[in-house]
Structure 1
Amino acid sequence: MTGFLHTSSALYPVSLRDDMPREIATAYWAGPHAEVVGRHPYIREYIQRQFSTADHGYWPVTPRVGTLTAPTWRVDGFAEVRLRSLTVAALTTPMHMPGVFLDEQNVFQRVLGHLTGPRGGRWWTTGHDDAVAHRTAVLLRRRRGVSGRAFRRFIHEELGPALYTAGARDLRTYTFLPYTPLAHLTPGVSHDNPTHRRYHGALVIGASSRDHLTELLASPGVSAVIDDQARVLTAAHAYTVERSVAVIRTE
């Protein structure tokens, strides 16, 4: 597939419970919790991205842009959801999501719901490909004083095309609507999201290997965009995706 596909999507960065062994929490997320979410009839795709605890903070450094992940603001992964539409999601959530909401307390201590808005996501390649050997997830923070339109233009019209042209696989770019805890107000789970910690967009970048990802980021077209990232960003936090669990695959 060439070009890109617009999507209406949602991303849910999560922190696993810190009173539970990580291997138990990740197994529950990928198992019983995934089964509950998988019964939702109006989700077109649901993929869990479980992050490495060791390989992160490697986005290319430029002045005024933070790339190191804060140990006091741990992100263990995110759920990546493609919706049939935001309207359908809003109308069907009360009917189909209570089980999901109540189950989150069993595995998460914090969940932050981010909606992209209509056509706020772009898939530059086809749906989830199990053959992709390495994926990096990047959480992006917009610079204060930069408009949402300028931020979206940078992510979708500069960074996305550069990565795609350089040969990224399974490439996805997302920009978020303004954050509100009402987007995912579940019981027994924190939704605190201080302004200085908030993210405004995300990338999922597939590559043939971790070394190939490094080559992509160093390629002339991508590095030229990254050299100018401080114009729009204050932070770009990269995480190696240790495991992708495709619970619901795209139609």
Structure 2
Amino acid sequence: MKRIFSKGGRSAAIFLLFLAVWETIARLVNIPNWLLPAPSAIVKTGVKVFPDFLPHFIATVKLSLTGYLIGCGFGFLAAVCLHLLPKLKEAVYPFLILSQNIPIIVLAPLLVIWFGFGILPKIIIITLFCFFPVAVAALDGFRQVPHELRYYMEMAGATKSQLFLKLELPGSLPSIFSGLKISAAYSVMGAVVSEWIGAQEGIGVFMTIASSSFQTEKVFVAIFVIMALSLLFFLAIVLLEKRLMKWQPKGDDKR
């Protein structure tokens, strides 16, 4: 835990230095706000529009969490099925990889045509963002369990389900959490993208309205909130990982 916050402090210091340089250049060069507003102007705009921005923020958070849970759930279940059914994995895995070559931003309008402007196409988009990292990470985790332990349990008479529940699943948790952390950041991006294609509220809607009227300060407010929200989701998964994996060696934390 201390290591997380020490690293976070260094990252925060670098980010504050970046903002200070940005503020200085914006003031010295006198860049117009519609082109590149200074951080101070962005903060002032954020405080000013907060009451109007809050409903958009809440809508995006709800959408992100819903899509994240569904996408990660489907990704984990798919990984379990493919791992336990090797023949199915051989047939399906190449298509799983190929599915990531389809640009989501291109697929989004088709989902609207097929499912309308409701919440379903938005959930599908976020699910597509979150599904792949969890599925691939879990499959790699199941495969990387030490063969010596597997052989020992098989010699002791363990069944296939016992091997999975007592060895492969616990041993794959580090890989699974890596996929969960990637998907946590993707879920917010997926929610914003889904809101661009048709929604009445959300950070994506807020950005679209602001950019169409050249209110660049509001666009940057939305960008910084998206970054903060993604980081918050990521840190939540990191803390959950630390809590659930206390048995893992802590040698790295002492560095």
Per the normalisation by structure 1, the TM-score is 0.28
- Work out which of the two has the higher radius of gyration on C-alpha atoms and give 1 or 2: 2
Where is the strand percentage greater, Structure 1 or Structure 2?
1
